[in-house]
Amino acid sequence: MSNRIKTGIIGATGMVGQNFIRLLANHPWFEVTYLAASEASAGKKYCDAVQNRWHMQGDIPANVKNMIVEDAGQIDRAIGKCSLMFSAVSLSKDEVKVLEAAYASKGFAVVSANSAFRLTPDVPVLIPEINYDHINIIPIQQKNNGWDKGFIAVKPNCSVQSYMIPLHALMTKGFKIKRLILTTLEGLSGAGYPGPSAFDMIDNIIPLIKGEEEKSEIEPKKIFGSIQNGQIINNTSIAISAHCTRVAVLDGHTACVSIEFDGKKPSTDEILDCWKNYHSVPKELGLPSAPETTIIYNDDPDRPQPRKDRDNGNGMAITVGRLRPCNVFDYRFVGLSHNTIRGAAGGAVLMAELLTAKGFIKS
């Protein structure tokens, strides 16, 4: 792309915002030209705003190191400086709704890592490999809100990434899913910084992540849903029961999944073939963040493991293992994804690439 799209980040000083900066440092389509955060950071150079709390590997990218951070609440400051805005603000859900809608009303394409709009019927919750066609709700969203160029698209909860694409691979081959029981083992970075204390986590597992089980049971139904009568209607044919736990792993969300099919049941070889040969629109479009292999099956009996497998495909691949019969349902498997890359900033960047390729975001 000869003219890279000027890009902003609101919430640029937090963990997800830092990941956006890291992933966009040498992006071929997007150029970071605007940073915003809280009033406390406004007016500072970015390097000063994150002094002693830059949590990424490597140094702050040179292109943003000395960029002045603006106040995210002063939306007019961003006008003319960017057209795409990644949102990673850390506010209450109601505050996020107001702020992101305000940016969209000013003509910005808002690609959000937040949960505020996930249940809104005219806002797509995108895993680009699965429900890429949900971007077609955007003109309806714009009409409903009286927006000209602006819109909002959001990424799903970080924990669903580890099993949604493997399930989609089976569904695309005609294998209908009836029920799922899953347990997630979620890395500490999913809680943000500083997250749970070492005293809480060492020699321990926390069997509650507030709101996580509800998200894991509801959001997949919207992602697997369809656009009908001007809104996204959930797929209610799949029953999901989720247990979500916090474990002493830095990065990586693991899911142990038991699956029951509705009707035709695939063989083990058919499931492995579905995963091995899975490809979708991001790869077909040549999107820069799309992994070369979307689903990687590791047949070692003790894999996947977060420390060994979370960075597969530059953190964008889903690693699966331990496929075997289930004594209660039909099959069980273990899935793993990198929660701060595929599950957060990287997944949002892939969304923006899809929206750009389809003409919804322009330079």
Please list the active-site residues: 158, 253
Residue 282 token pair: 């991001």
Query: Could you tell me which residues come within 8 angstroms of residue 232 by beta carbon, excluding any fewer than 6 positions away?
Result: 121, 122, 123, 124, 125, 134, 137, 222, 225, 226
Task: Give SS3 for 101.
Answer: helix
Task: Return d(Cα 164, Cα 169) in angstroms, integer.
Answer: 9
Task: Give SS3 for 238.
Answer: coil
* 291 in Cβ contact with 337 (< 8 Å): no
Which residue(s) pair with 335 in the sheet?
Answer: 255, 320
Cα–Cα nearest to 82, from 19, 16, 145, 36:
36
- Give CA 47 to chain center in angstroms: 26
Residue 331 token pair: 């099959």
How many other CB atoms are found less than 10 A from the CB of residue 350?
A: 26
Strands (E), the chain: 5-10, 30-37, 69-71, 84-87, 109-112, 151-154, 177-186, 226-228, 231-233, 239-246, 253-261, 295-298, 318-325, 331-337
Task: Return d(Cα 261, Cα 176) in angstroms, integer.
Answer: 6
